[in-house]
Structure 1
Amino acid sequence: MKYSKILLCFGALWASSAFPAPAPCDTLRVAFLTDIHVTPGNVQDSLFRVAVDEINASPCDIVIFGGDLTNLGSDAELEYVHGLISRLEKPWHAVPGNHETTWSESACTAFARIFGHDGRTAFRAGDYLFLGYASGPFMKMAMGAVRTEDLAWLAAEAAKARPGQRIVSLCHYPLNNDLTNRTEVTATLRRLGIPLTLFGHYHRAPSLFNFDSIAGIQGRALRGKSDSDAGYTLLDFWGDSVRVREKTLGAEPRTRFTIRMQDDPQTLALASDPTPPVPDYKAHAQLVLQDSATIYTGPAFYRDLVYYGTTQGVLRACDTRRNREVWRQRFGGALYTTPLVAEGLVIAGTTTDGLRAYDARTGRER
């Protein structure tokens, strides 16, 4: 009898050290909603109102939205869904999804105006620092990607983490081969010590993924297979652990899984996407210029100068022979269209400043 008591105590100690039960005093309760796809008057409009009422009456501390807030990304839909979200009586934060970027009628400028940021948002809750960023696509029919400047922003914000504070990544896309620069993104997270990412995009039950050893928690879409199956995801954070629960509207939450944020065996047992092959351009191309921002425009040429725009709103003129910048112009929003060169002028279309024309050689506005 004495030995059985010792064994029982040892077993209880092992279980508590593996996954300590969350205590009310140190648990961060998060309502995680993604892929709500609201259009004024559609089914999700009504379902989301019910979800807001439930969350307001719940003990959750914070609400996080993982993108695809709208169906078409129109200015009217963005304004409308922002109004619905503003009914929340809890602090909330949101990142855009592909329905806000790909289908935007304003080149994503309306999202920034309405939500207060262009996809990058850093916020603290409890002992955690959440870093949210956009994952595109930033052009119609393109693939998802995390912008180069957003990865630099992640590094700068991660450096601001307080001692002992854990960092959580948030973006709409999964960090797998659905992103064109997936390996660069996951390598950045590992280097910065960010062990966990929250995402949406896949309309399925809350699930666990392994993104090159980064744990990925996928939140469910608001609408399920039927209207009676509508719901969202609840995340309980404490220490290095997170419990994932599915909350169907009008029903009690159901626990899906619990993991350690760092090096959890459940996560590591899952297979990552195969690493995509790295293209070898050496035999066919030569690196002439490299930029610190993402480039979606094509290049334009005038004699020995090349012109292009960046997602940071910079129009650059570079001398390819001397490998140096000749002039630059900065705008308030990103540049996506290829500059036009004609009769000694460079004409650029911007997302915030309309059409602008500059002398091709000097960069003086004309």
Structure 2
Amino acid sequence: MKQKIALLLAAALLLCSGVQARRAPRHVAPRAAELNFAFLTDVHVTPRGESDSLLRAAVAEINASAVDFVLVTGDLCNMGSDAELHCVHGILKRLRKPWFAVPGNHETTWSESACTTFGRLFGNDGRLAFRAGGYLFVGFTAGPYMKMADGSVRREDLQWVEEQMRAARPGERIVTFCHYPLTNDVTNRTAVTQLLRRYDVRFDLCGHYHTLLLCNFDSIPGLMGRSLIPKNRRQEPAAGYNLVRVWGDSVALYEKRLGEAPRLSFAIPQGNSAALAALPCDPQPAPITYERTGAALVVEDEASIYTGVAVAGDTIFYGTSLGVLKAYDVKNRREVWRRQFGNAVYSTPLAAGGVVVAGDAAGAV
């Protein structure tokens, strides 16, 4: 039974299924010649702390600049508390430019509200799209949805990303952004990068490691931004953020230290190129196989499974990221019943005495 349960969870992490897109792309006034935008990541705001005042200074600088819009790629806070999220949202609301934010691991794995407060404040559940200057920007989240787990992109989110990219206008270029770098830090990284390559994504923006870096994400240029507070205060004491310039077939990333002129970090052709191919790339993860485990495929699910499973005889009970609690008969290989919740089910259900207890992310039982 344990082998079958492990296989169920592993198989579920490989699949992708569809849900309808929840909102149409929002629009930003285009600029024909080029795009210039601010790129914030890993601001890690603590109310009334140093990061609080530094982000306010960064917002003031951005408001006084000529950038077209602002992207924020996660880790807006430290402990995922509602107080932190309200604080950072209040600061970002002072931006007089269009701004777009997706969550990072500090908004998911430590979330006080099981990821619900972010959506209520920021108006998206970690996926959003907008158009600017002939580009379609598509943002998504990569969790994680369990304490200290690796990142992963939920199947319904991958499906949504594909729906947005499929709807790109003729001649429109696609850019993606997410908190995690698209490396083996994301458990289903191969599925993600294969999808992005299929739609010729021109480059991807990310954070997570707090340092400026040009990356090779399986032949997709990856622009990793610096954090608000430097990773090493002894070597680089100045706080700051990032600026991105997009023109022609090129993209450039600049470091913008507070109170200083922008410094070019690197420029590279969009898409795959000889310059990108010269950069290291994470090796492809080994495919999941079960020959040596003695396990056999029992069931494949249409959604991500981040819960453990409860067991009662030949029946297992588990929840999914689409908010479904399921009972599955592993002996007869059939679903016994399901219950639809209003939000994702991340906690492991309990089963005893003929009763199953589970709760969704909003606390419904």
| TM-score class normalised by the smaller sequence | 0.7 to 0.9
Residue correspondence of structure 1 range 237-316 to structure 2 within 5 A: 237-283=246-292, 284-316=294-326
Instruction: State the distance in 1 between where 2:350 and 2:57 align.
Output: 50
Query: In structure 2, which of residues 210, 216, 220 is the aligned counterpart of residue 214 of structure 1?
Result: 220
Query: In structure 2, which of residues 29, 38, 42 is the aligned counterpart of residue 35 of structure 1?
Result: 42
Query: In structure 1, which of residues 60, 63, 73 is the aligned counterpart of residue 70 of structure 2?
Result: 63
Of structures 1 and 2, the one scoring higher in RCO (CA 8 A, sep 6+) is: 2
Residue 325 of structure 1 is matched in structure 2 by 335
Q: Secondary structure at the match of 1:141?
A: coil
Displacement after TM superposition at 1:322 (Å): 4.0
Query: In structure 1, which of residues 89, 109, 123 is the aligned counterpart of residue 130 of structure 2?
Result: 123
Displacement after TM superposition at 1:302 (Å): 3.3
Instruction: State the distance in 2 between where 1:186 and 1:345 align.
Output: 42
Read off the aligned partner of 2:101 and give its amino acid letter.
A
- Do the aligned partners of 2:341 and 2:364 also contact (CA within 8 Å) in 1? no
Residue 3 of structure 1 is matched in structure 2 by none
1:106 lines up with 2:113 in the alignment: yes
Residue 364 of structure 2 is matched in structure 1 by 354
The answer for unaligned runs of 5 or more in structure 1 is 1-23, 356-366
Aligned residues: 331
Query: In structure 2, which of residues 331, 346, 355 is the aligned counterpart of residue 336 of structure 1?
Result: 346
- Do the aligned partners of 1:209 and 1:215 also contact (CA within 8 Å) in 2? yes
Residue correspondence of structure 1 range 163-202 to structure 2 within 5 A: 163-202=170-209
Displacement after TM superposition at 1:203 (Å): 1.6
Residue 8 of structure 2 is matched in structure 1 by none
Instruction: State the distance in 2 between where 1:314 and 1:171 align.
Output: 26
Q: Normalization by structure 1: what TM-score?
A: 0.86
Q: For residues 179-210 of structure 1, what are the alpha-carbon distances to aligned partners after superposition, in whole Å with 9 as ceiling and x for unaligned?
A: 22222221121123223110001122x22100
Q: Secondary structure at the match of 1:295?
A: coil
Read off the aligned partner of 1:51 and give its amino acid letter.
A
Displacement after TM superposition at 1:120 (Å): 1.0
Displacement after TM superposition at 1:25 (Å): 4.4
Instruction: State the distance in 1 between where 2:334 and 2:56 align.
Output: 55
Instruction: State the distance in 2 between where 1:118 and 1:58 align.
Output: 29
- Do the aligned partners of 1:331 and 1:352 also contact (CA within 8 Å) in 2? no
Instruction: State the distance in 2 between where 1:269 and 1:324 align.
Output: 50
Instruction: State the distance in 2 between where 1:105 and 1:161 align.
Output: 36
Identity across the alignment (%): 55
Q: For residues 125-164 of structure 1, what are the alpha-carbon distances to aligned partners after superposition, in whole Å with 9 as ceiling and x for unaligned?
A: 2211111111122111211111122111111111111111
Q: Normalization by structure 2: what TM-score?
A: 0.87
Read off the aligned partner of 1:26 and give its amino acid letter.
A
Instruction: State the distance in 2 between where 1:84 and 1:203 align.
Output: 20
**Cα RMSD (Å) of the superposition?**
1.6
Read off the aligned partner of 2:362 and give its amino acid letter.
T
Read off the aligned partner of 1:27 and give its amino acid letter.
E
1:91 lines up with 2:91 in the alignment: no
Read off the aligned partner of 1:216 and give its amino acid letter.
G
Residue 233 of structure 1 is matched in structure 2 by 242
Compared with structure 1, are the counterparts of its residues 25 and 141 closer, same or farther at alpha carbon in structure 2 (3 Å cutoff)?
A: closer
Displacement after TM superposition at 1:353 (Å): 4.1
Displacement after TM superposition at 1:59 (Å): 0.5
Q: Secondary structure at the match of 2:358?
A: strand
- Do the aligned partners of 2:114 and 2:362 also contact (CA within 8 Å) in 1? no
The answer for unaligned runs of 5 or more in structure 2 is 1-30
Instruction: State the distance in 1 between where 2:174 and 2:363 align.
Output: 36
Residue 61 of structure 2 is matched in structure 1 by 54
